Structure 1
Amino acid sequence: MRAIVVGSGAGGATAARELQSRGFEVVVLEAGPPFKPFTRRISWAEPLRRFGLLGGESTFKHLFPPMDIQRSSQELVLVRGLSTGGSTVLACGNLVRADRGLKEIGLDLTPEYDELEGELKPTTIPQENWRPVTNEMFLSARDMGLNPQPTPKVVDTSKCNNCGLCELGCVRGARWDSRKFLTEAIRKGAVLKSRSPVERVITENGRVSGVITHDNKKYNADVVVLAAGGIGSPQILKNSGLKAEDHLWVDIVLTLGGVLSGARQLEEPPMAWYTQHEDYILSPYPDILSHYFHKPWRKVPIQDRVGLMVKLADTEEGAVYADGKVDKPLTAYDQERLDLAINQAQEVMEGAGVSGPFVRGVPNGGHLGGTVPLKKEDVPNIRPSWLPEGLWVADLSLSPRSQGLPTILLTAALALRVSRKILETME
């Protein structure tokens, strides 16, 4: 049996490893090139940043090609990884259980969460490795009754040098990303083809029989697994004459910037702790994107900038088109909740001795899902019933609700459940 897995992020790599280990011949098609971390020599950019010569956030794509950045509306930027490892190579290594909206449809991923956590063994960053300002904000949040908790991470602290640039790739191999799973699949015989963006799936007599890549190459398969993310998977579906729903969610991130002389917040792993609320979290985060490309942040040197992030479960209203363009606004309801959360973040920062001027960073989203959402009747088979036979989805597109939490674990758990259902149906 042959399987095509489209994408190599948390979903694709998990599916590829599981299917290959259970007897499938797996080919992984990744749109992007092999991943290379960003150079750590970023001090050269400081003079350009101060004078606004780096341009807008789209410039970053030229400096760091694995990070795909596009505006989905005037007020919102979307970020995703287009490289081997998908968005996991650009993440902070957080491993948190996220299940918002899943109980409502009867989906319980506890077995998959238990299994993945047992294998990956998440730990936390020791508090002695936190910068003083991070510890003071933790204490401030605790005094406010926000119950901050150290963030579970898959980071080997013995290898970590506290560079603070997790989202630009880990040059020391301290942080887990999905290339570890992908490497295991390849060792067992899976084939990875990078720079192979899939254009569409091939459907014959109501069954999917393979895919066509952008360069018009055809790959035949008994099973096709779309794990190209909340933008990539619906784009392929629509290009194939199949439907995807206009319910894109992105987990909006907005970082509040304050000032503390000598804070040097970049000298620690980001998101060392978090507070969890009904539909958002707060977490310390220096926000490199805003520092280098957001005009209101320009006057403060990076060693004095302090950031506290809001990650919000946003309204599931966004559309992905066949050409890859996205229409995803910041709704009035999203803005109202962001305002409330940002006010709380400022109170935490002031309690820690961080001063103003407080400025907001670039609103952005990097957890992309909801475009092929599961419904209650889909849960037993873990696939939307309208998909042609042989076609599966194994990424955040399946999750009907925005999470406002880290989503690597959720993505991998969904892919694990999907993979095992594929195996069950093919027996």
Structure 2
Amino acid sequence: MRAIIVGSGAGGATIARELSQKGMEVIILESGGHFKPFTRRLSWTEPLRKIGLMGNEKTITRLFPYLETTRSSEELVLVRGHGTGGSTVLSCGNMVRADEGLKEIGLNLDSEFQELEDLIGVKEFPKQRWRPLTQKMFQSAEKMGLEPQATPKAVDAMKCVSCGLCELGCANQSRWDSRRFLEDAIQNGAILKIKTPVKKVLLENGRVSGVEIKSGISSKAIYGDLVVLSAGGIGTAQILKASGLPAQDKLWTDIVLTLGGVAPGAKMLKEPPMVWYSQQKDYILSPYVDILSHWFHKPWKNVSINDRVGMMVKLADLEEGAVYENGKVHKEISQDDKQKLEVAVSLAREIMENSGVSGPYVKGMYNGGHLGGTVPLEKSDVGEMRPNYLPEGLWIGDLSLAPRSQGMPTILLTAALGLKVARKILEIEPK
């Protein structure tokens, strides 16, 4: 049996690894190229940034093509990975157990979470290597009753050089990403095809027969017995709609808004981002320097990266974004979400002020990089881990399956969904 897996992020790589281990023929199609981390120093951008010549968020894609940005509305920028490893190569390596909305539909991923944590080697980053200001902010959050906790991470502290640029790729491979699962799959006999964007799914007599890929200026078919779409909340929905199949206009993004303050010599980049977090209803708070805001948000331009202090709000937003067949995305920030963000920002400011951080306090760019909800599971789907309206042989293996926004890191959730889906494929699909 041949399985075609579209996408090489947390979901796709996990599924490829699992299926190939069990002897299935696996072809992995990745629309981008082989990922390479950003290795330039940020200092060269400072003169351009200060005089406003860095342009907008599209500039980063020109400099670093693996990070793709999409403006889904006037206020909101969506970010996703484009290359081997998907968005895992551009992450902070956070491995929190996020399962908002899943147990309500009867889906328990605790065993998958535990298996992946053990396999990846999830640990907290040593507190003695946190920056002094980060420790002060943690203590401030404790005194406020916000119950902060160290973030479980897929980072080898012995290899980590504390460059703070996890989201631009880890140059010394101290942070796990899904390319390690890809390597396992390839060793098991899987075939990886890069720069192979999938246009649509092919159907024959009501069952999947393969995919159509873009090949130069033309198209060609790759045939298989089953297809797993793991192209993320946007990519998976685009492929489905281009195939005449349904995807729901329920895109969620986990909206991020970082409050910026100032503390001379803070040097927050001298540690991994988000070494601790405080979980509140609908959002988390975490220390974080937002590189997008630093480069492209004008209110942030007068403070150097060494003096910039950031406190992130990651919000579980309303699930009401739309993905279109032509590649466009429409997702706005609702008034309800803005009100929740204002409450969260006020707490972030209090944490920072109590830690000696000064103003001017400025909000960063609204952005979102957890893209899900476009093919959400319902209670009746959980038994087979696939929406029952999909044609036979077509599976979804990414965050699209999660019906609710998390307001939390989602790599572990995506991989756990992938693992659950892979095992259902092995159980259900004909041998």
Length-normalised TM-score, structure 2: 0.98
Equivalent residue letter for 2:170: C
Whether 1:368 aligns to 2:368 is: no
Displacement after TM superposition at 1:119 (Å): 1.2
* 1:380-391 equivalent positions in 2, closer than 5 A: 380-391=383-394
After superposition, the C-alpha distances for 1:261-283 in whole angstroms (9 at most, x for unaligned) are 11011111000000001110000
Whether 1:350 aligns to 2:343 is: no
CA separation in 1, counterparts of 2:123 and 2:226?
36
- Residue 244 of structure 1 is matched in structure 2 by 247
- Residue 342 of structure 2 is matched in structure 1 by 339
After superposition, the C-alpha distances for 1:246-270 in whole angstroms (9 at most, x for unaligned) are 0000000000000001101111100
After superposition, the C-alpha distances for 1:91-141 in whole angstroms (9 at most, x for unaligned) are 011101001001111111111111111211211111111111101100100
After superposition, the C-alpha distances for 1:56-115 in whole angstroms (9 at most, x for unaligned) are 111111010000001000010000001100000000111010010011111111111111
Q: Any unmatched runs of 5+ in structure 1?
A: none
After superposition, the C-alpha distances for 1:212-235 in whole angstroms (9 at most, x for unaligned) are 012212111011000000000000
Equivalent residue letter for 2:71: R
- Residue 273 of structure 1 is matched in structure 2 by 276
**SS where residue 381 of structure 1 aligns?**
coil
- Residue 207 of structure 1 is matched in structure 2 by 207
Whether 1:300 aligns to 2:303 is: yes
Q: State which drifts further: 101-110 or 310-319.
A: 101-110
Equivalent residue letter for 2:348: A
Equivalent residue letter for 1:97: R
**SS where residue 270 of structure 2 aligns?**
coil
* 1:254-333 equivalent positions in 2, closer than 5 A: 254-333=257-336
Q: State which drifts further: 40-49 or 364-373.
A: 40-49
CA separation in 2, counterparts of 1:412 and 1:128?
30
- Residue 22 of structure 2 is matched in structure 1 by 22
CA separation in 2, counterparts of 1:329 and 1:280?
18
Displacement after TM superposition at 1:323 (Å): 1.3
CA separation in 2, counterparts of 1:420 and 1:40?
41
Q: State which drifts further: 108-117 or 85-94.
A: 108-117
**SS where residue 266 of structure 1 aligns?**
helix
After superposition, the C-alpha distances for 1:7-39 in whole angstroms (9 at most, x for unaligned) are 000000000000111111000000111101012
- Residue 165 of structure 2 is matched in structure 1 by 165
- Residue 56 of structure 2 is matched in structure 1 by 56
- Residue 402 of structure 1 is matched in structure 2 by 405
CA separation in 1, counterparts of 2:171 and 2:118?
25
Q: State which drifts further: 124-133 or 365-374.
A: 124-133
Q: Any unmatched runs of 5+ in structure 2?
A: none
CA separation in 2, counterparts of 1:42 and 1:343?
30
**SS where residue 73 of structure 1 aligns?**
coil
CA separation in 2, counterparts of 1:129 and 1:256?
23
- Residue 121 of structure 1 is matched in structure 2 by 121
Of 221, 224, 239, 2:224 maps to: 221
Equivalent residue letter for 1:135: Q
Give the number of aligned pairs. Answer: 427
Equivalent residue letter for 2:134: T
CA separation in 2, counterparts of 1:307 and 1:147?
19
* Percentage identity across paired residues of the two chains: 64
Equivalent residue letter for 2:103: K
CA separation in 2, counterparts of 1:78 and 1:390?
30
Of 376, 379, 382, 2:382 maps to: 379
Equivalent residue letter for 2:276: W
CA separation in 2, counterparts of 1:183 and 1:289?
30
- Residue 67 of structure 2 is matched in structure 1 by 67
CA separation in 2, counterparts of 1:177 and 1:402?
22
After superposition, the C-alpha distances for 1:266-322 in whole angstroms (9 at most, x for unaligned) are 111000000001110000001111001110000011110000000000000100000
Displacement after TM superposition at 1:41 (Å): 1.6
CA separation in 1, counterparts of 2:327 and 2:14?
24
Structural RMSD (CA): 0.6
Q: State which drifts further: 119-128 or 84-93.
A: 119-128
Displacement after TM superposition at 1:339 (Å): 0.4
- Residue 6 of structure 1 is matched in structure 2 by 6
CA separation in 2, counterparts of 1:104 and 1:313?
17
Runs of 4+ in 1 over 3 A off after TM superposition: none
**SS where residue 214 of structure 1 aligns?**
strand
Equivalent residue letter for 1:2: R
**SS where residue 268 of structure 2 aligns?**
coil
